Protein backbone atom coordinates (compact mmCIF):
# COMPACT_ATOMS: atom_id res chain seq x y z
CA UNK A 1 0.00 0.00 0.00
CA UNK A 2 1.69 3.19 -1.23
CA UNK A 3 -0.10 5.35 1.34
CA UNK A 4 1.20 3.19 4.20
CA UNK A 5 4.74 3.36 2.86
CA UNK A 6 4.44 7.15 2.43
CA UNK A 7 3.32 7.56 6.07
CA UNK A 8 6.19 5.42 7.34
CA UNK A 9 8.75 7.37 5.30
CA UNK A 10 7.26 10.68 6.42
CA UNK A 11 8.23 9.95 10.01
CA UNK A 12 11.19 7.64 9.36
CA UNK A 13 13.09 8.80 6.28
CA UNK A 14 15.51 5.84 6.23
CA UNK A 15 13.02 3.18 7.22
CA UNK A 16 13.80 -0.54 7.00
CA UNK A 17 10.07 -1.24 7.28
CA UNK A 18 9.31 0.87 4.20
CA UNK A 19 12.03 -0.94 2.24
CA UNK A 20 10.57 -4.30 3.36
CA UNK A 21 7.08 -3.37 2.14
CA UNK A 22 8.44 -2.06 -1.18
CA UNK A 23 10.40 -5.26 -1.66
CA UNK A 24 7.48 -7.53 -0.81
CA UNK A 25 5.22 -5.64 -3.20
CA UNK A 26 7.77 -5.99 -6.02
CA UNK A 27 8.18 -9.72 -5.36
CA UNK A 28 4.41 -10.20 -5.41
CA UNK A 29 4.17 -8.27 -8.68
CA UNK A 30 6.94 -10.40 -10.21
CA UNK A 31 5.25 -13.66 -9.17
CA UNK A 32 1.89 -12.45 -10.50
CA UNK A 33 3.43 -11.39 -13.82
CA UNK A 34 5.20 -14.77 -14.19
CA UNK A 35 1.82 -16.52 -13.96
CA UNK A 36 0.28 -14.62 -16.85
CA UNK A 37 -1.00 -16.38 -19.97
CA UNK A 38 1.92 -15.14 -22.06
CA UNK A 39 4.16 -17.45 -20.06
CA UNK A 40 2.16 -20.41 -21.41
CA UNK A 41 4.23 -22.86 -23.41
CA UNK A 42 2.10 -24.49 -26.15
CA UNK A 43 1.69 -22.90 -29.57
CA UNK A 44 -2.06 -23.41 -29.20
CA UNK A 45 -2.05 -20.61 -26.60
CA UNK A 46 -2.16 -18.12 -29.47
CA UNK A 47 0.89 -16.13 -28.35
CA UNK A 48 2.95 -14.63 -31.17
CA UNK A 49 6.79 -14.57 -31.14
CA UNK A 50 6.71 -10.76 -30.75
CA UNK A 51 4.34 -10.92 -27.76
CA UNK A 52 6.49 -13.63 -26.18
CA UNK A 53 9.70 -11.64 -26.70
CA UNK A 54 8.21 -8.49 -25.17
CA UNK A 55 6.80 -10.46 -22.26
CA UNK A 56 10.14 -12.09 -21.54
CA UNK A 57 11.95 -8.72 -21.66
CA UNK A 58 9.40 -7.25 -19.22
CA UNK A 59 9.79 -10.25 -16.91
CA UNK A 60 13.58 -9.78 -16.90
CA UNK A 61 13.11 -6.07 -16.17
CA UNK A 62 10.84 -6.80 -13.22
CA UNK A 63 13.32 -9.28 -11.81
CA UNK A 64 16.19 -6.78 -12.08
CA UNK A 65 14.08 -4.07 -10.41
CA UNK A 66 13.04 -6.43 -7.59
CA UNK A 67 16.60 -7.59 -6.94
CA UNK A 68 17.73 -3.96 -6.64
CA UNK A 69 15.00 -3.34 -4.07
CA UNK A 70 16.12 -6.52 -2.26
CA UNK A 71 19.68 -5.22 -2.05
CA UNK A 72 18.45 -1.87 -0.70
CA UNK A 73 16.39 -3.74 1.90
CA UNK A 74 19.20 -6.06 3.08
CA UNK A 75 21.66 -3.16 3.34
CA UNK A 76 19.34 -1.54 5.91
CA UNK A 77 19.01 -4.62 8.12
CA UNK A 78 20.84 -3.28 11.15
CA UNK A 79 20.18 -3.70 14.86
CA UNK A 80 19.08 -0.09 15.33
CA UNK A 81 16.51 -0.38 12.52
CA UNK A 82 15.18 -3.75 13.70
CA UNK A 83 14.76 -2.39 17.22
CA UNK A 84 12.25 0.25 16.00
CA UNK A 85 9.64 -2.42 15.20
CA UNK A 86 11.15 -5.33 17.12
CA UNK A 87 7.86 -7.05 18.07
CA UNK A 88 6.67 -6.98 14.43
CA UNK A 89 9.95 -8.40 13.08
CA UNK A 90 10.13 -11.11 15.76
CA UNK A 91 6.52 -12.17 15.20
CA UNK A 92 6.64 -12.24 11.39
CA UNK A 93 10.30 -12.84 10.47
CA UNK A 94 12.03 -14.26 13.57
CA UNK A 95 14.07 -11.10 14.07
CA UNK A 96 17.21 -9.90 12.28
CA UNK A 97 18.45 -13.32 11.15
CA UNK A 98 15.00 -14.13 9.77
CA UNK A 99 14.89 -10.90 7.76
CA UNK A 100 18.20 -11.77 6.11
CA UNK A 101 17.01 -15.31 5.36
CA UNK A 102 13.76 -13.94 3.94
CA UNK A 103 15.57 -11.79 1.36
CA UNK A 104 17.83 -14.70 0.37
CA UNK A 105 14.88 -17.10 -0.02
CA UNK A 106 12.91 -14.61 -2.12
CA UNK A 107 15.83 -14.21 -4.54
CA UNK A 108 16.19 -18.00 -4.87
CA UNK A 109 12.46 -18.26 -5.59
CA UNK A 110 12.68 -15.60 -8.32
CA UNK A 111 15.64 -17.38 -9.92
CA UNK A 112 13.62 -20.60 -10.09
CA UNK A 113 10.67 -18.75 -11.64
CA UNK A 114 13.01 -17.14 -14.18
CA UNK A 115 14.60 -20.51 -14.99
CA UNK A 116 11.18 -22.03 -15.67
CA UNK A 117 10.13 -19.02 -17.79
CA UNK A 118 13.38 -19.23 -19.80
CA UNK A 119 12.82 -22.91 -20.55
CA UNK A 120 9.29 -22.18 -21.76
CA UNK A 121 10.63 -19.32 -23.86
CA UNK A 122 13.30 -21.58 -25.36
CA UNK A 123 10.75 -24.30 -26.15
CA UNK A 124 8.41 -21.76 -27.72
CA UNK A 125 11.09 -20.32 -30.00
CA UNK A 126 12.54 -23.72 -30.85
CA UNK A 127 9.13 -24.75 -32.15
CA UNK A 128 8.74 -21.49 -34.02
CA UNK A 129 12.18 -21.54 -35.59
CA UNK A 130 12.68 -25.22 -36.35
CA UNK A 131 9.08 -25.47 -37.54
CA UNK A 132 8.35 -28.41 -35.25
CA UNK A 133 4.66 -28.37 -34.40
CA UNK A 134 4.63 -29.93 -30.94
CA UNK A 135 1.15 -31.10 -30.05
CA UNK A 136 -0.54 -33.77 -28.00
CA UNK A 137 -2.93 -34.50 -30.85
CA UNK A 138 -2.22 -37.48 -33.09
CA UNK A 139 -2.29 -36.56 -36.77
CA UNK A 140 -2.96 -39.16 -39.45
CA UNK A 141 -4.07 -39.19 -43.08
CA UNK A 142 -6.03 -42.09 -44.50
CA UNK A 143 -4.77 -44.33 -41.73
CA UNK A 144 -1.10 -43.35 -42.09
CA UNK A 145 0.62 -41.74 -39.09
CA UNK A 146 2.13 -38.25 -39.42
CA UNK A 147 5.28 -37.77 -37.37
CA UNK A 148 6.49 -34.24 -36.51
CA UNK A 149 10.20 -33.75 -35.91
CA UNK A 150 12.42 -30.76 -35.08
CA UNK A 151 14.95 -31.89 -37.68
CA UNK A 152 14.19 -33.41 -41.12
CA UNK A 153 14.03 -37.18 -40.94
CA UNK A 154 16.61 -39.13 -42.98
CA UNK A 155 15.00 -40.99 -45.88
CA UNK A 156 17.05 -44.10 -45.09
CA UNK A 157 15.75 -44.49 -41.52
CA UNK A 158 12.13 -43.49 -42.20
CA UNK A 159 9.48 -46.19 -41.84
CA UNK A 160 7.50 -47.21 -44.93
CA UNK A 161 3.88 -46.06 -44.89
CA UNK A 162 4.38 -43.02 -42.64
CA UNK A 163 4.40 -39.27 -43.24
CA UNK A 164 7.27 -37.21 -41.81
CA UNK A 165 6.65 -33.48 -41.29
CA UNK A 166 9.72 -31.26 -40.88
CA UNK A 167 8.03 -27.87 -41.30
CA UNK A 168 4.91 -26.46 -39.65
CA UNK A 169 3.48 -22.94 -39.50
CA UNK A 170 0.27 -21.32 -38.26
CA UNK A 171 -1.68 -18.52 -39.92
CA UNK A 172 -3.76 -15.85 -38.19
CA UNK A 173 -6.88 -18.03 -38.43
CA UNK A 174 -5.28 -20.82 -36.41
CA UNK A 175 -4.89 -23.20 -39.32
CA UNK A 176 -1.76 -25.34 -39.17
CA UNK A 177 0.23 -25.82 -42.40
CA UNK A 178 2.84 -28.57 -42.52
CA UNK A 179 5.00 -30.40 -45.02
CA UNK A 180 7.62 -33.09 -45.43
CA UNK A 181 7.64 -36.46 -47.16
CA UNK A 182 5.74 -39.76 -47.33
CA UNK A 183 7.83 -42.95 -47.31
CA UNK A 184 6.06 -44.91 -50.05
CA UNK A 185 8.46 -47.86 -50.13
CA UNK A 186 12.06 -48.69 -49.31
CA UNK A 187 13.35 -46.79 -52.37
CA UNK A 188 10.77 -44.03 -52.80
CA UNK A 189 9.64 -40.98 -50.85
CA UNK A 190 7.10 -38.43 -52.01
CA UNK A 191 6.92 -34.74 -51.12
CA UNK A 192 3.68 -33.60 -49.47
CA UNK A 193 2.09 -30.50 -47.96
CA UNK A 194 -1.12 -30.11 -45.96
CA UNK A 195 -3.18 -27.95 -43.66
CA UNK A 196 -5.33 -28.73 -40.63
CA UNK A 197 -7.70 -26.97 -38.26
CA UNK A 198 -6.63 -25.96 -34.77
CA UNK A 199 -8.53 -28.99 -33.46
CA UNK A 200 -6.28 -31.35 -35.38
CA UNK A 201 -8.60 -32.22 -38.25
CA UNK A 202 -6.61 -32.41 -41.51
CA UNK A 203 -8.51 -30.48 -44.16
CA UNK A 204 -6.30 -31.29 -47.14
CA UNK A 205 -3.09 -33.18 -47.85
CA UNK A 206 -1.56 -33.18 -51.32
CA UNK A 207 1.42 -34.91 -52.82
CA UNK A 208 3.61 -32.66 -54.95
CA UNK A 209 2.47 -32.42 -58.59
CA UNK A 210 6.11 -32.88 -59.47
CA UNK A 211 6.16 -36.63 -58.92
CA UNK A 212 9.97 -36.60 -58.78
CA UNK A 213 9.96 -34.37 -55.69
CA UNK A 214 11.11 -36.32 -52.64
CA UNK A 215 10.53 -33.79 -49.81
CA UNK A 216 8.80 -30.46 -49.10
CA UNK A 217 11.19 -29.01 -46.50
CA UNK A 218 9.57 -25.57 -46.08
CA UNK A 219 6.04 -24.16 -46.12
CA UNK A 220 4.40 -20.77 -45.55
CA UNK A 221 0.69 -19.89 -45.34
CA UNK A 222 -0.61 -17.30 -47.81
CA UNK A 223 -3.93 -15.76 -48.79
CA UNK A 224 -6.21 -18.56 -49.94
CA UNK A 225 -3.76 -21.40 -49.33
CA UNK A 226 -0.06 -22.03 -48.95
CA UNK A 227 3.33 -21.84 -50.68
CA UNK A 228 5.68 -24.82 -50.55
CA UNK A 229 9.30 -25.42 -51.47
CA UNK A 230 9.52 -28.84 -53.11
CA UNK A 231 12.88 -30.58 -53.45
CA UNK A 232 13.97 -33.49 -55.62
CA UNK A 233 16.97 -35.41 -54.34
CA UNK A 234 18.56 -38.13 -56.45
CA UNK A 235 21.94 -39.39 -57.57
CA UNK A 236 22.41 -36.29 -59.76
CA UNK A 237 21.97 -33.87 -56.83
CA UNK A 238 19.17 -31.50 -55.83
CA UNK A 239 16.46 -29.64 -57.77
CA UNK A 240 14.04 -27.19 -56.16
CA UNK A 241 10.68 -25.72 -57.10
CA UNK A 242 8.38 -23.22 -55.42
CA UNK A 243 4.68 -24.06 -55.73
CA UNK A 244 1.47 -22.38 -54.59
CA UNK A 245 -1.68 -24.31 -53.64
CA UNK A 246 -5.20 -23.18 -52.79
CA UNK A 247 -7.27 -24.64 -49.95
CA UNK A 248 -8.70 -27.26 -52.31
CA UNK A 249 -5.21 -28.56 -52.97
CA UNK A 250 -5.11 -27.25 -56.53
CA UNK A 251 -1.70 -26.03 -57.68
CA UNK A 252 -1.88 -22.37 -58.77
CA UNK A 253 1.68 -22.11 -60.07
CA UNK A 254 5.15 -23.57 -59.76
CA UNK A 255 8.54 -22.37 -60.91
CA UNK A 256 12.05 -23.74 -60.68
CA UNK A 257 14.64 -22.34 -58.27
CA UNK A 258 18.23 -22.21 -59.43
CA UNK A 259 20.42 -23.35 -56.52
CA UNK A 260 21.31 -27.01 -56.48
CA UNK A 261 21.45 -26.79 -52.71
CA UNK A 262 19.04 -27.64 -49.90
CA UNK A 263 16.49 -24.98 -48.79
CA UNK A 264 17.12 -23.94 -45.15
CA UNK A 265 14.95 -20.85 -44.57
CA UNK A 266 11.87 -19.43 -46.27
CA UNK A 267 9.98 -16.22 -45.48
CA UNK A 268 6.93 -15.08 -47.45
CA UNK A 269 6.51 -11.31 -47.86
CA UNK A 270 2.77 -11.05 -48.48
CA UNK A 271 2.74 -7.27 -48.96
CA UNK A 272 5.29 -7.28 -51.79
CA UNK A 273 4.56 -10.82 -53.05
CA UNK A 274 8.17 -11.87 -52.53
CA UNK A 275 9.72 -15.12 -51.39
CA UNK A 276 12.93 -14.79 -49.36
CA UNK A 277 14.97 -18.00 -49.44
CA UNK A 278 18.24 -19.32 -48.07
CA UNK A 279 19.97 -22.41 -49.50
CA UNK A 280 23.04 -24.22 -48.18
CA UNK A 281 24.60 -27.65 -48.57
CA UNK A 282 23.65 -30.73 -50.51
CA UNK A 283 22.22 -32.91 -47.72
CA UNK A 284 18.93 -32.89 -45.89
CA UNK A 285 20.77 -33.00 -42.57
CA UNK A 286 22.92 -29.88 -42.59
CA UNK A 287 26.65 -30.59 -42.51
CA UNK A 288 28.25 -28.63 -39.65
CA UNK A 289 31.82 -29.65 -40.42
CA UNK A 290 32.07 -28.37 -44.00
CA UNK A 291 32.26 -24.76 -45.13
CA UNK A 292 29.44 -24.63 -47.71
CA UNK A 293 28.29 -21.88 -50.04
CA UNK A 294 25.21 -20.05 -48.77
CA UNK A 295 22.83 -18.56 -51.35
CA UNK A 296 20.16 -15.95 -50.62
CA UNK A 297 17.38 -15.44 -53.18
CA UNK A 298 14.76 -12.69 -53.26
CA UNK A 299 12.09 -13.99 -55.67
CA UNK A 300 9.29 -11.82 -57.07
CA UNK A 301 6.23 -14.11 -57.18
CA UNK A 302 4.41 -11.93 -59.73
CA UNK A 303 6.93 -12.09 -62.58
CA UNK A 304 9.49 -14.59 -61.15
CA UNK A 305 12.33 -12.09 -61.43
CA UNK A 306 14.93 -12.53 -58.74
CA UNK A 307 17.94 -11.02 -57.07
CA UNK A 308 20.46 -13.11 -55.24
CA UNK A 309 23.72 -13.21 -53.33
CA UNK A 310 25.92 -16.28 -53.37
CA UNK A 311 29.38 -15.10 -52.36
CA UNK A 312 29.01 -16.28 -48.75
CA UNK A 313 30.63 -19.41 -47.36
CA UNK A 314 29.54 -20.61 -43.94
CA UNK A 315 30.86 -23.20 -41.54
CA UNK A 316 27.77 -23.30 -39.35
CA UNK A 317 24.04 -22.83 -39.92
CA UNK A 318 21.60 -20.05 -40.80
CA UNK A 319 18.79 -19.87 -38.23
CA UNK A 320 16.58 -16.79 -38.79
CA UNK A 321 15.43 -14.50 -41.58
CA UNK A 322 13.78 -11.13 -40.80
CA UNK A 323 12.72 -7.97 -42.65
CA UNK A 324 13.36 -4.55 -41.19
CA UNK A 325 13.17 -1.08 -42.74
CA UNK A 326 13.16 -2.40 -46.30
CA UNK A 327 16.14 -4.71 -45.76
CA UNK A 328 16.54 -8.42 -45.12
CA UNK A 329 18.42 -9.63 -42.04
CA UNK A 330 19.94 -13.11 -41.98
CA UNK A 331 21.23 -14.57 -38.70
CA UNK A 332 23.74 -17.43 -38.73
CA UNK A 333 25.78 -19.41 -36.23
CA UNK A 334 29.38 -19.66 -37.41
CA UNK A 335 32.74 -21.03 -36.46
CA UNK A 336 34.05 -19.62 -39.74
CA UNK A 337 32.30 -17.21 -42.11
CA UNK A 338 33.55 -15.71 -45.38
CA UNK A 339 31.76 -12.84 -47.08
CA UNK A 340 32.59 -9.52 -48.74
CA UNK A 341 36.17 -10.79 -49.27
CA UNK A 342 36.73 -11.16 -45.54
CA UNK A 343 36.86 -14.19 -43.25
CA UNK A 344 35.58 -14.16 -39.65
CA UNK A 345 36.37 -16.80 -37.04
CA UNK A 346 34.41 -17.45 -33.85
CA UNK A 347 36.21 -16.36 -30.71
CA UNK A 348 34.51 -19.11 -28.70
CA UNK A 349 36.86 -22.07 -28.45
CA UNK A 350 34.95 -25.12 -29.66
CA UNK A 351 31.74 -23.11 -30.10
CA UNK A 352 29.88 -20.66 -32.31
CA UNK A 353 29.34 -16.93 -32.48
CA UNK A 354 26.50 -15.22 -34.37
CA UNK A 355 26.75 -13.30 -37.66
CA UNK A 356 24.17 -10.84 -38.97
CA UNK A 357 24.16 -10.40 -42.76
CA UNK A 358 22.18 -7.38 -43.97
CA UNK A 359 20.97 -7.64 -47.58
CA UNK A 360 19.97 -4.72 -49.78
CA UNK A 361 16.67 -4.84 -51.76
CA UNK A 362 18.82 -5.50 -54.84
CA UNK A 363 20.03 -8.73 -53.25
CA UNK A 364 23.61 -7.67 -52.53
CA UNK A 365 25.19 -7.65 -49.10
CA UNK A 366 25.10 -4.25 -47.42
CA UNK A 367 27.16 -5.19 -44.37
CA UNK A 368 28.26 -7.98 -42.07
CA UNK A 369 27.89 -7.65 -38.30
CA UNK A 370 29.63 -10.36 -36.22
CA UNK A 371 28.67 -10.74 -32.56
CA UNK A 372 31.97 -12.05 -31.24
CA UNK A 373 32.47 -13.44 -27.75
CA UNK A 374 34.78 -15.85 -25.95
CA UNK A 375 31.74 -17.78 -24.71
CA UNK A 376 29.76 -19.98 -27.14
CA UNK A 377 26.49 -18.48 -28.32
CA UNK A 378 24.34 -20.80 -30.42
CA UNK A 379 21.47 -18.77 -31.88
CA UNK A 380 18.04 -20.41 -32.13
CA UNK A 381 15.83 -17.58 -33.31
CA UNK A 382 15.75 -13.82 -33.88
CA UNK A 383 12.48 -11.99 -33.24
CA UNK A 384 11.61 -8.47 -34.31
CA UNK A 385 10.01 -6.91 -31.23
CA UNK A 386 9.28 -3.55 -32.86
CA UNK A 387 10.66 -1.35 -35.66
CA UNK A 388 13.93 -0.78 -33.82
CA UNK A 389 14.43 -3.70 -31.45
CA UNK A 390 15.35 -7.32 -32.18
CA UNK A 391 16.02 -10.08 -29.66
CA UNK A 392 18.37 -12.97 -30.47
CA UNK A 393 17.60 -16.04 -28.39
CA UNK A 394 20.17 -18.78 -27.99
CA UNK A 395 22.07 -21.07 -25.66
CA UNK A 396 25.66 -21.66 -24.62
CA UNK A 397 25.68 -25.00 -26.45
CA UNK A 398 28.73 -25.89 -28.49
CA UNK A 399 26.74 -27.58 -31.27
CA UNK A 400 23.73 -26.78 -33.45
CA UNK A 401 21.70 -29.99 -33.42
CA UNK A 402 20.35 -30.56 -29.91
CA UNK A 403 17.63 -32.89 -28.72
CA UNK A 404 14.86 -31.38 -26.52
CA UNK A 405 16.46 -33.08 -23.50
CA UNK A 406 19.86 -31.53 -24.32
CA UNK A 407 18.28 -28.09 -24.76
CA UNK A 408 16.85 -28.27 -21.23
CA UNK A 409 20.39 -28.47 -19.86
CA UNK A 410 21.70 -25.39 -21.67
CA UNK A 411 22.10 -21.90 -20.29
CA UNK A 412 19.66 -19.62 -22.11
CA UNK A 413 21.05 -16.34 -23.47
CA UNK A 414 19.25 -13.31 -24.92
CA UNK A 415 20.93 -10.46 -26.79
CA UNK A 416 19.19 -7.32 -28.00
CA UNK A 417 20.02 -5.18 -31.04
CA UNK A 418 18.51 -2.23 -32.86
CA UNK A 419 17.47 -2.42 -36.52
CA UNK A 420 21.04 -1.53 -37.58
CA UNK A 421 22.39 -4.57 -35.75
CA UNK A 422 24.01 -2.57 -32.95
CA UNK A 423 23.80 -4.26 -29.56
CA UNK A 424 21.61 -2.49 -27.01
CA UNK A 425 20.20 -3.11 -23.52
CA UNK A 426 16.69 -4.55 -23.29
CA UNK A 427 15.34 -1.24 -21.96
CA UNK A 428 16.89 0.98 -24.69
Asked if 249 and 229 count as a contact pair (C-beta separation under 8 A), the reply is no
Is residue 314 predicted with pLDDT exceeding 90? Answer: yes
Q: Write down the pLDDT at residue 137.
A: 52
Strand locations in 184-248 (E): 189-196, 202-207, 215-222, 225-234, 237-246
Angle formed at CA 222 by CA 379 and CA 141, multiple of 5 degrees: 85
Give me the chain's average pLDDT, please: 85
- Alpha-carbon span 224 to 269, nearest angstrom: 15
pLDDT band, residue 6 (cuts 50/70/90) = low
* Residue 359 reports pLDDT greater than 80: yes
C-alpha distances out from residue 79 to 50, 91, 96, 409, Å: 48, 16, 7, 43
> Tell me, what's the pLDDT at 171?
81
Query: Distance (Å, rounded) from C-alpha 19 to C-alpha 23?
Result: 6
Q: What is the pTM of this model?
A: 0.79
Task: Give the confidence band of 239 by pLDDT, cuts at 50, 70, 90.
Answer: very high
Q: Which residue has the higher pLDDT, 40 or 210?
A: 210
SS3 237: strand
> Given this model, what pLDDT does residue 38 score?
60
Residues 6+ apart with CB under 8 A from 118: 56, 412
With a cut of 80, say whether residue 37 has pLDDT above it.
no
For 56-67, what is the mean pLDDT? 86
pLDDT of res. 401: 62
Tell me the C-alpha distance between 13 and 107, whole Å.
26
164 backbone φψ class: left, alpha, beta (φ>0; ψ -120 to 50)? beta
Pairing of strands 274-280, 251-257: unpaired
- pLDDT for res 99: 93
Give yes or no for a contact between 180 and 215, defined as CB atoms under 8 angstroms apart.
yes
Q: Residue 237's pLDDT is what?
A: 85
pLDDT band at residue 7 under the 50/70/90 scheme: confident
Distance (Å, whole) CA 33 – CA 29:
6
Give the confidence band of 76 by pLDDT, cuts at 50, 70, 90: very high
Rounded CA separation 317/168 (Å): 19
| pLDDT value of position 135 | 47
List pLDDT tens digits, range 103-147.
889 989 988 888 777 777 766 665 543 343 444 356 789 988 888
- Rounded to whole angstroms, what are the CA distances from 80 to 10, 58, 83, 400? 18, 37, 5, 56
pLDDT for res 133: 45
Please report the pLDDT score of residue 43 as a whole number. 46
> What are 150-186's pLDDT values in tens digits?
666 677 788 999 999 888 887 877 788 999 999 999 8
Amino acid sequence: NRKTIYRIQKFDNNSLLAELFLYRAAVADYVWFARQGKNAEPLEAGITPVQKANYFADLAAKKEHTIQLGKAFTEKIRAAEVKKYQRFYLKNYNGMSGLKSFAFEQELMMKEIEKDAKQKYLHFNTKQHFKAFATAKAYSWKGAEIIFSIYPQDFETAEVGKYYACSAEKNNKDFVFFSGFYKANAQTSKAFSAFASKGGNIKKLVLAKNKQATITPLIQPCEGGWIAIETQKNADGLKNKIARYNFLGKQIYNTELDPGAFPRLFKYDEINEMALLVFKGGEIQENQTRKDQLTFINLNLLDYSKTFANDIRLLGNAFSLLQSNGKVLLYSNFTEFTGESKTYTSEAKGGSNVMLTTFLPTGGVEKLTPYLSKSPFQGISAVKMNSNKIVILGTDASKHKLSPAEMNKQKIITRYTNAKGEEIKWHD
